[in-house]
Structures are given as structure tokens and as C-alpha cells.
A = this chain, B = another copy of it.
Amino acid sequence: MRRKSGIESYQMFRESGISLTPGVGQPLYRQIFDQVAARVSSGVLTPGFRLPPTRVLAEELGVHRNTVVRAFEDLVAAGFLVSVVGRGSFVTSAPLPASISPPPSRPSLPWVSLVSRAASAEPLGRADALAGPAPSGNPVNLSRMEPAGELLPHELLRRCLDHVLRDRAASALGYSPREGLPRLRELIAAELSRSGVPAEVDDVLVTTGSQQALDLVARALIDPGDPFLVEESTYSGAINLFAVAGARVVGVPSDGDGPDPAALERHDRSRAKGFYMMPNCGNPTGACVSAERRHALVAWSRRAGVPLIEDDYGADLNLDGVPPPPALKALDSEVIYLGTFSKKLIPALRVGFLVCPKALRRQLVPLKHAMDLGTSVLLQHALCEFLERGYMRAHLAKVLPEYRARRDALAAGLSEGLPDGVEWTPPARGLVLWLQLPEGSDPGAVCEEASRRGVLVTPGAIYSPTGRSRPSLRLAFCGEPPERIAVGAQRLCRAIDAAAGRGRGSGSTRAPAIDVL
């Protein structure tokens, strides 16, 4: 390729239209960087193109030469330009594309017989099977248990990430240690200990959200065909994973205090590989297990030889400032305890953790590492920074009154308009409220009617290991402001009335809003 002379290249460069705007907050060298980078990417400046000398360009742009030098240095560092001593700066070469050849058409592979039983597990398909047509308009969404966007601390996280990438640079971008960052494990252990959950640093295993912790536990305990116990109404994402691992998932009924002891006694000899529960604020029920029942549960666990898996996804979401009774993990060190920063902080962090009984560490650590080669160290560092700066405490002080207001708006609306026979209790913790409809009601029909009236709720069946449950609905109150929640509650009450008036009707099992969260 013939190199262009300095003057030719300068002409082309000027024609490409670089222009600077002083005083817009973006430093001038950064503006030059961005504009040259964009022209290289779009192909306006082609590989081998020689840029004008920094002195010439600085004069033309009316900036100090050092500004252009700084921009060119950054462009070289980033790989857009190469600099040849005595020759100038050139646009780098692009990698060559491979040849394209169209795929021939042949008979298909026998996928039906190739797919595993795991991937065919029935609960996995429920969300797709139950999902009805997408709702129209801007319905009040009481379906999704995701923290409200307006409550997510994006600016605080931005500061933390910015600091981590400036301060730790490339050391925050490699692979994670198998157990997670020691710094984060220390912070988690300290925070747990402060809140009454005994945890040593060595017991804390960082996971990619608590969902992965749950998957890890399922895979580490379940062989195909093993029984596995869950609450009668429980987190659908857990049902999915236990079913994928091949478990026979068995629901344990609850009374007002928690899982029914008499029902548990029947599982003493069942060789169940675990009992999964959310003692502080059940998803979907919002229920809290009493202190006395917690003691009974850990005693049963040891007697029956069945580990307890305590999912504390809602830790710190104490809406009335009242902490729950002692954690199961505080009563028994062999409990497997799961936590997450998705609900109380930011879902996109994808950081959760597991407090591991010592006897399981040798199995869990390599298995977690095999699953994804470790959780993003960048996000782990950012979370450390967030915790060390005290942002977490501040964030909770901000969101808890807001979630309380949302729960109260929902409770007020329901108190006013719900027909007789619907049972519910305002939850003291967490982000969901559970409605038990009268026997004979059709929750699918209620969901459809509610959607038509502009409010989305989730039918209880999706939280059942069998896919069948007493008629019920889950209402998540975290995702909408109080005013809209009040409107949603009103619409829902009318929908329940209307659906009841029509009797069982079509018995539809399709619901407009299905979410495993």
C-alpha cells in the first residue's frame, strides 16, 4: 500500500470532519480519541492510513500539541493506531474474515432422542406452557419480584466500578479464585455474623447469584430419583433446579407457624436429600416460620438425616424494622445457608453466596468452579467497594420505608375491596403478598380478567411442585410506586369479583404474567 504524504493525509483527515467542542465536560483529548476511534471502526479511516503529525493537527484544531499527543497515545494503547518512530501514526490492520460457505441441507439429527431427561423436566416448560398473550397498555405489574428501577443505586454503583477500574485496573479483570474473592468473603462473613448468622470466612462460597448456589446444592446432593422436600408453595426457580437434577420433589404442608411437624415425621425414613425452605419471608407466601418451629426443624433434620437448605433471599428486608427469629443456620451449623444481593441491592450484580457446612466444602468448591469458572471478579470488587463505603446500609435505609409504603398501599387497597373468603396476611418482610382464594376459584381466570383490567398477578400453581395448588395468587409489591399499587389493588379486587361471578367458566390455565422470579 502506498503511504499517503502528510499533506494528502491531512486533507482526508480534515474531510472526515473531526471537530472539538470545548467546555462540554468531556476533555479535548477524549473528544479526539472518540472521533478517531469512531472513524476507524466505521472504516472512514482505513488500515494503514497515516494520521497527520500531531503538531499539524494541533494547529488545525486550535489545541495544545500535548492534547493531540495524549489522544494519540491512548489510541495506540487501545490498538486503533500504531506509531512508528520517525514515520508517524497509522491505523492498525483489521483481522481477516474467514471464508463463508452456505450450509448444505440434510436430514436433521435425532434431537428428540438426544435430549436428556434433565432438559425435559416438566417444571422447566411451565412458564412457556402457561404464558398467555402479552398484556397491552401499561398494566400495573404485581407479577415480577424485581427491585424497582427507581430504587436501584446506579450512581453509587457507578462510583464503585469507576474506582475499582482506576485503582485495581487489570487486576480486577481476570478469573476469580475458586471460592470467590477473599475480600468479599470476609465482608459477607462479617455482615452475617453481625446479623446473627454464624459464618467463618472459609465457609463462604461466592456464587453467580443465589440461583447458582441453589443449582450447586441441587447437583451436589441429588441423584436421579432421590426425594427432595420443599414447602408446599415454594420458589418456582428452586422447583426447576431440583427437577432438572432428577429429584422427586415433594411438598410439605405448612400451618401458621411453618412446615407441619407431623408431615415432616412421615419423611423421617424417606432418604430425602434435603429440605429447601425460606424461613424468613417465603416466596410466594410471605410467611415467616416461628422461633419455636425453627428449633423443631433443626432437631428433625438431625434426627431424620435430612439437611436443611435455608434460602434467605430477603435478608434485611424487614419492612417494619423487626428482625426475624434466629436463622436456622444460627441454630445448626450443618444448615446450608444461601444469600443474595439481587433483591436487597442489584440483580445485575449476579452475586450470591452459600455458607457451606465444612463437610461439603471439598465437593462444592470444584463443582461451583466447573459450572462457570468463577463469578465475575469485577462485580465482586465493585460489591466490596459498595459494602466498605457503607453504601449498603444507606441503600437499605432508603428502600425499606419505600417498600413498606408499597406494601401498605397494597394492603389498604385489598382491605377495602377484596370479597369475603379471600385469605391473606400483610407480610412483615420481603416483597410479596399471598392471596388464598376461596375453594373452587379459578386463579387462571382471575389472572386473565385482572390483565384485561390492567393489573398483572401470578397464579399460585407455578409455585407448586406438582403444578397444582389450592387457588391462590402471588402479588409482588416492589416494582410499582404506591399510587399505582393502590390502583392495581382496586382493579384486582374487581377482577376477583367478576371472575367469581362467572363461576368456573373456561377453567383456563393460561396466565398473562408468568415469572419464575
Chain A residues with CB under 8 Å of chain B are 34, 37-38, 40-42, 74-75, 77-80, 82, 92-104, 106-111, 114-120, 124-125, 127-128, 146-147, 149-158, 161-162, 165-166, 169-176, 193-198, 208-209, 211-212, 215, 219-224, 226, 237, 240-241, 244-245, 273-274, 301-302, 305-307, 316, 318, 321-327, 329-334, 342, 346-350, 357, 359-360, 362-364, 366-367, 369-373, 375-379, 389-391, 393-400, 516-517
A390 in contact with B38 (CB, 8 Å): yes
Tell me which residues across on chain B come within 8 A of A98, comparing CB atoms.
Answer: 195-197, 323-327, 330
Specify the chain B residue showing the minimal Cβ separation from A395. Answer: B79
Smallest beta-carbon distance A121→chain B, Å: 8
Specify the chain B residue showing the minimal Cβ separation from A349. Answer: B376
Given known A124-B367, A371-B212, A517-B373, contact A170–B150 (CB-CB < 8 A): yes
Q: CA of A127 to CA of B240 in the docked complex: distance in angstroms?
A: 30
Q: CA of A257 to CA of B119 in the docked complex: distance in angstroms?
A: 35
A348 in contact with B376 (CB, 8 Å): yes
A116 in contact with B221 (CB, 8 Å): yes
Given known A154-B170, A330-B100, contact A364–B41 (CB-CB < 8 A): no
Given known A128-B366, A162-B158, A173-B152, contact A373–B237 (CB-CB < 8 A): yes
Given known A79-B396, A119-B364, contact A154–B173 (CB-CB < 8 A): yes
Tell me which residues across on chain B come within 8 A of A221, comparing CB atoms.
Answer: 114-116, 119
Specify the chain B residue showing the minimal Cβ separation from A212. Answer: B372
Specify the chain B residue showing the minimal Cβ separation from A397. Answer: B92
Specify the chain B residue showing the minimal Cβ separation from A399. Answer: B79
Copies assembled: 2
Specify the chain B residue showing the minimal Cβ separation from A211. Answer: B373
Tell me which residues across on chain B come within 8 A of A195, comparing CB atoms.
Answer: 97-98
Given known A79-B398, A161-B161, A364-B119, contact A38–B222 (CB-CB < 8 A): no
A516 in contact with B97 (CB, 8 Å): no
Smallest beta-carbon distance A397→chain B, Å: 4
Tell me which residues across on chain B come within 8 A of A147, comparing CB atoms.
Answer: 174
Given known A79-B399, A170-B149, A208-B208, contact A95–B316 (CB-CB < 8 A): yes
- Provide a sorted-by-A list of 11 A–B residue pairs whose CB atoms are within 8 angstroms: A40-B390, A77-B398, A95-B397, A95-B400, A98-B324, A99-B323, A103-B329, A114-B221, A154-B173, A155-B169, A215-B370
Smallest beta-carbon distance A300→chain B, Å: 12
Smallest beta-carbon distance A329→chain B, Å: 8
The 8 Å CB contact of A146, one of B78, B109, B175, B347, is: B175
Given known A174-B347, A211-B373, A301-B109, contact A219–B92 (CB-CB < 8 A): no
Given known A78-B398, A109-B301, A394-B40, contact A330–B101 (CB-CB < 8 A): yes
Specify the chain B residue showing the minimal Cβ separation from A301. Answer: B109
A302 in contact with B106 (CB, 8 Å): yes
Tell me which residues across on chain B come within 8 A of A116, comparing CB atoms.
Answer: 219-223, 226, 245, 273
Given known A220-B118, A330-B103, contact A80–B348 (CB-CB < 8 A): no
Smallest beta-carbon distance A28→chain B, Å: 16
Specify the chain B residue showing the minimal Cβ separation from A305. Answer: B110
